[in-house]
Amino acid sequence: MLGGPKNDRFVVSRRRTGLGDCLWSLAAAWRFAQRTGRNLVIDWRGSCYLEQPFTNAFPVFFEPVQDIAGVRVICDDQINQRSFPGPFFPGWWNRPTIDCAYRPDEQIFRERDELDQLFQSQQDCDANTIVCDACLMWRCDEEAEREIFRSIKPRSEVQGRIDAIFREHFEPYSVIGIHVRHGNGEDIMGHAPYWADPERALRQVCNAIDTAKALSHEKPVRAFLCTDSALVLEKVSAMFPDVFTIPKRFHAPQAGPLHSAALGAEGGFSALIEMYLLARCDTVIRFPPTSAFTRYARLFAPRVIEFDLNDPSRLILIEEASQELVSS
């Protein structure tokens, strides 16, 4: 192992985005920390869910954790008083602090690629601190993701809300969870092709619900919708009047995503509740399947319906280890 003693070497997972991105990127950082004998720092200051820039969002939403499968974890607000030893990787972080205050998008993408190359190389480097301040979806194995979800738990009060909703609305039914990531005017980047024709996209979602309902179910079927768009809720509810949702605040049409400080921490709690309930559904529909929000459900739900990346008009049914194409 290169560098100094274990206690002096770190991987810092810095994210300010939606919870799905934060957790998937955390899994990639954890895997590298585990493989190289480093401490893991969870630094979610500046979170999109909070107005306080120096509050670490991780302990706002999750119970404190000191260890994840043998990796020591630092995840509270003590990071405001800590400094981490150089040299740093990627090299950008070796600049004076004031020069690191602004990072253009091209720099963030460059760092993402540098981190990806390091992780894929299965090698270590001589930097004492690895700074993971980029989206690291797809940069780790699925078992690393599962370990994160097994090891971290929502705050007890949030878990209590999840359990109460599950007992009342889920336990007596075979629940079809439907996640529709619209963006509501946000730049949705890789999700954009799925919304090139909004009316067609909504038809595809409704076709997927019909397909899911036609599958075999052990209990009476109930549909559960999670979306970031009041318009999507209105359209899907008109087609399926029995669909149920968890009440929450929406932004005005085209006013941006739900993960914003304008909704306060409650916006994050609402997201966390929906994310964890989707993972407890019997069947989950992911539109689009590129959304990190439903990654937890993709890993743990018994049956998942996704939209073919190359042909969104076709559905992919994933049931345990098997998978087949289903025409929509």
Assign residue 78 the CATH number of its domain. Answer: 3.40.50.11340
Q: Are residues 144 and 245 in the same domain?
A: no
Cα separation, 2 vs 131, in Å, equals 17
Residues 160, 42 share a domain: no
User: If you average pLDDT over each of 25-34, 77-86, 249-258, which comes out highest?
Assistant: 25-34
**Residue 61: inside a domain:** yes
Q: What mean pLDDT, rounded, does the chain reach?
A: 87
The lowest-confidence range among 70-84, 136-150, 151-165, 299-313 is 299-313
pTM of model > 0.75: yes
Q: Give pLDDT, residue 324.
A: 38
Q: Which tokens in the block code for residue 151?
A: 């090891």
Give the domain-ending residue among 89, 120, 148. Answer: 148
Helix extents (H) in the chain: 19-36, 58-61, 105-121, 142-151, 156-165, 198-214, 230-239, 264-278, 295-300
User: According to the model, what pLDDT value does residue 326 have?
Assistant: 41
Lookup result for tokens 């995503």: 257
Say if residues 95 and 87 touch (Cβ distance below 8 Å).
no
251 is a domain residue:
yes
Give the pLDDT score at 100: 67
Q: Give the whole-number percent of the chain exceeding pLDDT 70.
A: 86
DSSP-derived secondary structure letter, 288: S
Tokens 């509740």 identify what position?
A: 273
CA distance 324 to 242: 28
- Residue 223 inside a domain? The answer is yes
Assigned domain for 48 exists: yes
pLDDT band at residue 102 using 50, 70 and 90 as cut-offs:
confident
209 & 135 share domain: no
Q: Is the peptide bond before 253 cis (omega within 30 degrees of 0)?
A: no
Chosen domain end from 101, 132, 148: 148
Residue 261 — pLDDT band, cuts 50, 70, 90? Answer: low
Per-residue confidence band for 1, with pLDDT thresholds at 50, 70 and 90: very low
**Is residue 310 very low, low, confident or very high in pLDDT (cuts 50, 70, 90)?**
confident
Supply the range of the domain harboring residue 12.
6-148
C-alpha separations of 175 from 12, 19, 204, 318 in Å:
38, 23, 19, 16
184-196: average pLDDT = 63
Rounded CA gap, 104 and 251, in Å?
Answer: 27
Q: 118 and 171 share a domain?
A: no
* Residue 1, domain member (yes or no): no
On whether residue 47 sits in a domain, the answer given is yes
The pLDDT tens digits of the residues spanning 198-231 come to: 888 888 999 999 999 999 999 999 999 999 888 8
Specify the pLDDT at position 321. Answer: 41
What confidence score (pLDDT) does residue 81 get? 87
Is residue 192 located within the same domain as residue 68?
no
Question: Hey, what are 28's tokens?
Answer: 């990639």
Verify that 128 and 235 share a domain, yes or no.
no
The edge-to-edge listing of strands for the beta sheet with 314-319 is: 221-227, 174-180, 283-287, 303-307, 314-319, 322-327
Residues 97 and 196 in one domain: no
The mean-pLDDT minimum among 150-159, 229-238, 254-263 falls in: 254-263
CATH number of residue 266's parent domain: 3.40.50.11350
- pLDDT greater than 80 at residue 238: yes
Query: Could you tell me if 256 and 108 lie in one domain?
Result: no
Segment 60-87 mean pLDDT? 93
C-beta neighbour count of 44 within 10 angstroms: 26
> Higher pLDDT residue, 113 or 261?
113
Q: How many CB atoms lie within 10 A of CB 322?
A: 7
Residue 36 is encoded by which pair of tokens?
């190289």
Number of domains in the chain: 2
Same domain, 165 and 84: no
75 part of a folded domain? yes
Task: Check whether 283 has a pLDDT greater than 60.
Answer: yes
Q: Is residue 295 included in any domain, yes or no?
A: yes
Task: Report in angstroms the alpha-carbon separations of 186 from 1, 125, 166, 264.
Answer: 43, 37, 31, 18
| Amino acid 251: pLDDT | 62
What mean pLDDT comes out for the span 276-290?
94
Residues 283 and 160 in one domain: yes
Boundary residue ending a domain (99, 123, 148)? 148
Residues 204 and 118 in one domain: no
Residues 170 and 248 in one domain: yes
Model pLDDT, residue 5: 44
Report the range of poorest mean pLDDT among 92-101, 146-155, 186-195, 216-225: 186-195
Residue-level pLDDT at 311? 78
Q: What is the predicted pLDDT for the residue at 80?
A: 87
User: Over 60: is that where the pLDDT of 44 sits?
Assistant: yes
